[in-house]
Amino acid sequence: MDYEKLTQVMRRLSLVAGDKIMEIYNSDEFEVKLKSDDSPVTEADEAADALISEGLRTAFPDVVLVTEEQAASHSMKADTFLIVDPLDGTKEFVHRRGDFTVNIAYVENGVPTRGVVYAPAKNRMFFTLANGQSVEETGALSKDVIGETLPIKVSQADNDALLVVASKSHRDQATDDYINKYKVADSKSAGSSLKFCLVATGEADLYPRVGRTMEWDTAAGHAVLHGAGGMVVRFDDHSPLIYGKDGYANPFFIAYSPSVELKEA
């Protein structure tokens, strides 16, 4: 894989998709449908998916592409593949809360090694460089040229005063029970894959997810966190979270700075 090209293409496509998403987000109204699992899907999901899929297939025709909005891709089996959630945090989008992202990632041998997470309503862009280091791009976001970037790195956590982030739309008692095992100084909520990015920048130390997710929800954020020195492990046995699983469904997991002293489930 040409990582330089991959970085450029993923970043540009996230911005193109973000523009389309914001065009629909800022319209007076948009259609919301329910998928077979009762999760919402909007015209923004579908339009962004079409733009990203076309761009990735043109740039990388020989790489398997898995995307949330194309059910046929969910039966593909590969250890190395591109994976896309064109609009992660659809509930946040529908309720106009702004915490939604465009997620594009590259998985190699079951590990997300490169990715981009773009939050168009918040104008925050996180991605991995060709060398695997994660950065946040600051300032104006040009589609053609990468602007000024700031290397990001996980925190050196204070285990007597941890900063925790959890899901905004899916927080429940099981999540709170696990968080209560730690000494917490501050706990915040965020939507979509932004939670991974908050751990990657050191704005949070720990993100436990005790609930259903799919690989396209997590791969890009996982890659960004990995490139900032963070880790993502299974909730049950703390083994690494791997990708390319049957049906692309995740077990519960914990994303964290390695300086956090993890508690048992």
Q: Quick check: 227 pLDDT over 70?
A: yes
DSSP string, 201-241: TTS-SEEEE-S--BHHHHHHHHHHHHTTT-EEEETTT-PBP
Over the chain, what is the mean pLDDT?
93
pLDDT in tens, 244-264: 999 999 999 999 999 999 999
Residue 142 CA to residue 119 CA, distance in Å, equals 15
Q: What is the pLDDT of residue 150?
A: 97
Report the topology of domain 162-256.
D-Maltodextrin-Binding Protein; domain 2 (3.40.190)
Q: Is the pLDDT of residue 135 over 80?
A: yes
pLDDT confidence band for 62 (50 / 70 / 90): very high
Taking the C-alpha atoms of residue 198 and residue 101, their distance in angstroms, rounded to an integer, is 13
pTM: 0.95
- Asked if residue 68 belongs to a known ligand binding site, the reply is yes
**217 known ligand binder:** yes
Q: Would you say residue 40 has pLDDT above 90?
A: no
Q: What is the pLDDT of residue 97?
A: 86
Please give the residue that has the higher pLDDT: either 196 or 171: 196
Q: Which amino acid is at 1?
A: M
Domain layout of the chain by residue ranges: 3-151, 162-256
Cβ-based neighbours of 50, under 8 Å, separated by 6 or more:
none
Q: Residue 98: exposed, middle, or buried by beta-carbon count in 10 A (0-12, 13-18, 19+)?
A: middle
Separation of alpha carbons 106 and 190, rounded Å: 24
Read off the pLDDT of each residue in 115-130 and give the average, rounded to a whole number.
97
Q: Looking at residues 209-236, what average pLDDT do you find?
A: 97
- Residue 215 marked in a binding site: no
Rounded Cα–Cα distance for residues 92 and 167 (Å): 11
Q: Which fold has domain 3-151?
A: Fructose-1,6-Bisphosphatase; Chain A, domain 1 (3.30.540)
Please, which pLDDT band fits residue 240 given cuts at 50, 70 and 90? very high
- Report the alpha-carbon distance of residue 33 to residue 109 in Å, rounded: 35
Please indicate whether the domains covering 3-151 and 162-256 agree at the CATH topology level.
Answer: no
Average pLDDT over every residue of 183-207: 94
Q: What is the pLDDT of residues 137-186, one digit of tens each?
A: 998 899 999 999 999 999 999 999 999 999 866 678 899 999 999 999 99
Q: Is the confidence at residue 41, as pLDDT, over 80?
A: no
Q: How confident is the model at residue 192 (pLDDT cuts 50, 70, 90)?
A: confident
